[in-house]
Structure 1
Amino acid sequence: MTAEVCDVIVTSMVALHRLGVPDPAARFTEHLHRTAARTLTPRQS
């Protein structure tokens, strides 16, 4: 299962490169940080 998840990430990085994103790794990292901040913050009741 983890290999498949890694394959998805690699495929996404290749897609970013082919779309002409100047620095795919930086763009991915920025998005990952925003997503983590949104989804990993504790929920208040």
Structure 2
Amino acid sequence: MKRSAIYQRMSEGRFPKSRSLGPKCAVWVEAEIDDWIAAVARSPD
């Protein structure tokens, strides 16, 4: 996914929120990403 798509989905609540480690560093919790992947895989679309 493109960076812009990730941030768009985050703002819509359709992707886990990132955590800021500094002014130019964003990270995600691995378990939240794993849960998101599993949910996408289960969706009928």
Asked if these proteins are the same fold (TM beyond 0.5), I'd say no
Instruction: Please identify which structure carries the higher helix content.
Output: 1
- TM-score, normalisation: structure 2: 0.33
Instruction: Please identify which structure carries the higher strand content.
Output: 2
- TM-score, normalisation: structure 1: 0.33
Larger radius of gyration: 1
